Chains A and B, each alone.
Chain A
Amino acid sequence: MDIQEIFSVHLQKLPYTTKFEMLSNAQAFLYVAASVTARNSAGLIGVNVKIDGTVLASSVVYANEPGSSRPTVAMLIKIPNPTLGEHELTLEATTQITTTGSLDYACGTIFYQGLSADPFIWRFSGKVPQTTKFKSPMFGKAVLYLAGSGYIKSPQVCGLSVTLDGKAVAKTQMLPGIGNSHFAFPPIFVPVDLKPKEYDIGVSTTIGEVLSDDNDNFEIGILY
């Protein structure tokens, strides 16, 4: 898989714009991770990700504490109709309460999929557990991506896990600092062994105390 780092910045203001060169016409996916700060009230904060002026996705998280920096739920975004040559990427504030503090950051990486089959990308918000199906076209290792957010009444180690046909294949865990406050789990890229078949894929929490609502977002990807 060809991978291209396109930016890594101390995100001192929004919008942030940078130029980058697409290295191939192959189908491509953009990984964007960022942190932003809630200006003066609680609510969703995040960045809209634009390429050549078109918003492709929004990487957001719910911020319960105004003035506090929060990592957003990092995303894998399909780049439509990739073409060789120079393009422009912009990160802009998703909501009016989104701002940048002195210690916010962002980075972006492109994954070129070449002639491989279409990746599976599953994006949803709301409660977990949730399940869906995907059809693996291949035998062997793929890259599984997991990101999401949630909250918990009393801070304790907690996490998200991904299951394939009911078997846990990946998890991300952390100890959140504040009870009843939304937070993004660390996003992970991990190997997963697949066969050419249809799978039931599920996302759940590692302990029952983790909660999520319509302000929480989840991103699961499988890159072949």
Chain B
Amino acid sequence: MALVQQLLDQHPGPLPIKGTFQCLSTEVFDFIVSGVSVRKPNTAVGAAGVEIYIFDKDGKQVGYTSGTIDGTLTGGRRATVAQFGQTSLSAGETYTFEVRPVFPECASDEKDFYTATIIY
């Protein structure tokens, strides 16, 4: 049986999105955030994407991963190439997470949806 925990289930934007979770294991775990991204109009050509940070109770960053994509406005939103991140935390402890655009030039709104999952 898999030990899997959903942090966001098709949560609509805009970013950032914040939340908390209770870690289920002391084992190393992997986590991923998927969604779409695009750069805002009148910004330089470049990458776009979505990232997720995990913080402990003291606000220290204890986990990070992201997904990136060509952010060219022509063509609109694209699904990010979402990569897994890996970390280990303390079982039973509560942590906070925040899903953000990877650059301030990235757009997001209520028509964008984000899914974030931990697989232990």
Contact = CB atoms under 8 A, between A and B. Distances in A.
Contact of A103 (B35, B70, B85): B70
Contacts of B77: 174-177
Contact of B115 (A106, A141, A172): A172
Contacts of A104: 70
5 contacts: A3-B86, A35-B78, A184-B79, A189-B32, A223-B2
Interface of A: 1, 3, 5, 8, 31, 33-35, 37, 65, 68-71, 74, 101, 103-107, 109, 138-143, 155, 157, 159, 171-178, 181, 183-191, 223-224
Interface in B1-45: 1-6, 9-10, 30, 32, 34-36, 38
A174 B113 contact: yes
B108 to A, nearest CB: 11
B83 A174 contact: no
Interface of B: 1-6, 9-10, 30, 32, 34-36, 38, 46-47, 67-72, 74-86, 111-113, 115, 117, 119-120
Given A5-B83, A74-B82, A171-B10, 12 more contacts: A69-B75, A71-B78, A101-B70, A103-B47, A172-B10, A172-B113, A173-B10, A177-B74, A185-B79, A186-B35, A186-B36, A223-B2
B5 A191 contact: yes
A3 to B, nearest CB: 4
A177 B75 contact: yes
A89 B92 CA distance: 38
Contact of A35 (B1, B35, B36, B69): B69
Contacts of A175: 36, 76-77, 111-112
Contact of A68 (B4, B72, B115): B72
A165 B19 CA distance: 32
Given A3-B84, A106-B81, A141 B1 contact: yes
B1 to A, nearest CB: 4
B1 A188 contact: no
Contact of B36 (A69, A103, A174): A174
